[in-house]
Amino acid sequence: MKFSDFVATDAIRSDVESDTKPALIREMAEALVEAGRLPAAELESIVKAIMKREDLGSTGIGRGVAVPHTKHPSVDRLVGTVAVSRKGIDFLSLDGEPVHLFFLLVSPPDRPGDHLRALENISRQLRDDTFCRRLKASTTPADIEHLLEEADNHGVVT
């Protein structure tokens, strides 16, 4: 699975204002609503579900990355977005590091395979130091969009 299969480019945020986990999750979910990818009427329910998942264990997977996510019946296909925080947010990650890079995913309840393949793609790209560094250094949503395209097509060049 590629980034272009699930990332809503209109909802990408290059410098989030939020400085806490709940605020960041809300900001990203709102971006997906504004981009027309999540129904506004379901915003509260989706934010609540993502926070409930975080309570089970942080989705901060290390290397300054987190993948907050939930299943939700309001979507019929996997939808996601990307956000970058310049100052970093405490996400209670396994390695204790603040998180700068966020991939938020909302998937239909009956498609666990798609969710797994999106996680695979994200984690595979993030093993690449160059990808991480360039994503962290992105200053506009367009920069991030181009970087994701590059990763989709042939991997990232230094």
Partner 1 sequence: MSSQQTISREVVVGIEQGLHARPADLLAREARKWQSRIELVAERQRADGKSILELLTLAAEAGTRLVVEATGPDAREAVDAIGGLFDRNFSEPNSHTQPLVSRPTNE
**Binding positions for partner 1, rule: CB under 8 A:** 56-59, 61-63, 65, 67, 69, 94, 112-113, 115-117, 119-120, 122-124, 126-127
Q: Which is nearer to partner 1, 59 or 85 (CB)?
A: 59
Specify the 3-state DSSP secondary structure of 67.
coil
Q: Which is nearer to partner 1, 1 or 35 (CB)?
A: 1
**Known catalytic residue at 72:** no
Q: How far apart are CA 104 and CA 72, in angstroms?
A: 13
Q: How far is CA 6 from the centre of its chain?
A: 10
Q: Which of 103, 113, 105 is nearest to 148 (CA)?
A: 103
Q: How far apart are CA 126 and CA 66, in angstroms?
A: 11
List the catalytic residue out of 69, 72, 100, 115: 69
Nearest approach in angstroms of CB 126 to partner 1 is 6
Annotated catalytic sites, by residue?
69
